[in-house]
Amino acid sequence: MNATIKFRIDGTQVVTKAGLTIMKAADNAGIYIPRLCDEKGLEPQGSCRICIVKIGGQIVASCTQPAEDGLEVENDTPEIRNYRRDLVKMLYHEGNHLCPICEASGRCELQAVSYYLGIFQPTKYPYLQPDRPVDASHRDILLNTNRCIRCGRCIRASKTLDGKNLFGYIGRGIHKQVGVNGENLANTDAKVGDAAMALETCPVGCIIQKRQGFFAPIGKRRFDLKPLGTNSVKQQKGGSEQ
């Protein structure tokens, strides 16, 4: 059966086939919903909560929530934007992010989502500033988990797309982070061509292909050319911070 459903996102009607998530349906309709842990081709994990929307007073993750006929979805509202901003800011506080010297700058989804949400300045709260050792053991790949946002995209890509299971979570709560299943990356069969190592898989500058940094000039990097949220048919604005 190929039933069609209709629902609204911020008042705009979306007509879509049944069985999609709200995020997929929104993507198909050209409506941007910001996200970090979701990536095309990977099973949704629903952990970063940047993609939250409001339905009937309930906050849900749009990357896992099925679209249903007749829903009224709130996406780009001041309330939701503020939640998203708080969530994004917390990621900066938990990691060690110095964008001007980071080679992911300009292609980093965390940075691009921040710009979309109008976050341009560090906030005044204390930063945890972790100082985790960099794993530079592999000839071609470097792992700098100081910038990891625990989106799990590398874990899922390695497991389901590469069939290698190279990464996993270690630690709990605030100490939870991504680690290599093995002593270090050099002692795994990680290859540059793995889906898990592709530049698009890690949304930040954590999994890095060595000796490629800064080859793309400022102005020609992924999000310099197409800032997040502006490639949609409907040019949404995340607004600037109040």
Residues that bind other proteins (CB under 8 A): 100-101, 103, 133-134, 136-137, 142, 208, 210-220
- For residue 86, the SS3 value is helix
Give yes or no for residue 141 binding ligand SF4 (CB under 6 A).
Answer: no
Q: Stretches 4-12, 24-32, 70-78, 203-211: which one binds ligand SF4 (CB under 6 A)?
A: 203-211
CA 141 to chain centre: 20
Which tokens is 213 given?
A: 């940094």
> Which of 152, 205 has the CB closer to ligand FES?
152
> Residue 219: which of other proteins, ligand FES, ligand SF4, none does it interact with, CB under 5 to 8 A by kind?
other proteins
H or E stretch covering 81 = helix 78-94
Q: How far is the CB of 64 from ligand SF4 (least distance, A)?
A: 17
- How far are the Cα atoms of 33, 175, 219, 225, 238 from residue 229, in angstroms, in the given order? 8, 32, 17, 12, 8
Give yes or no for residue 190 binding ligand FES (CB under 6 A).
Answer: no
H or E stretch covering 117 = none
Binding flags for ligand SF4, 46-85, as an x/- string (CB under 6 A): ----------------------------------------
Q: Distance between CA atoms of 188 and 114, rounded to whole angstroms? A: 34
Binding flags for ligand FES, 30-49, as an x/- string (CB under 6 A): -----xxxx-------xxxx
- For residue 58, the SS3 value is strand
Give yes or no for residue 148 binding ligand SF4 (CB under 6 A).
Answer: yes
Q: Distance between CA atoms of 221 and 216, rounded to whole angstroms? A: 6
> Which of 59, 134 has the CB closer to other proteins?
134
Do 54 and 74 touch, CB atoms closer than 8 A? yes
Q: Of 25, 31, 51, 119, which lies in the binding site for ligand FES, with binding defined by CB under 6 A?
A: 51
Which tokens is 144 given?
A: 């700098």
- For residue 25, the SS3 value is helix
Pairing type for strands 4-9 and 72-74 reads parallel
Give yes or no for residue 146 binding ligand SF4 (CB under 6 A).
Answer: no
> Which of 91, 104 has the CB closer to ligand FES?
91
Give yes or no for residue 190 binding ligand SF4 (CB under 6 A).
Answer: no
> Residue 97: which of ligand SF4, ligand FES, other proteins, none does it interact with, CB under 5 to 8 A by kind?
ligand SF4
Do 147 and 205 touch, CB atoms closer than 8 A? yes
Q: How far is the CB of 38 from ligand FES (least distance, A)?
A: 4
Which tokens is 56 given?
A: 């009937």
Using CB under 6 A, list all residues that contact ligand FES: 35-38, 46-51, 61, 63
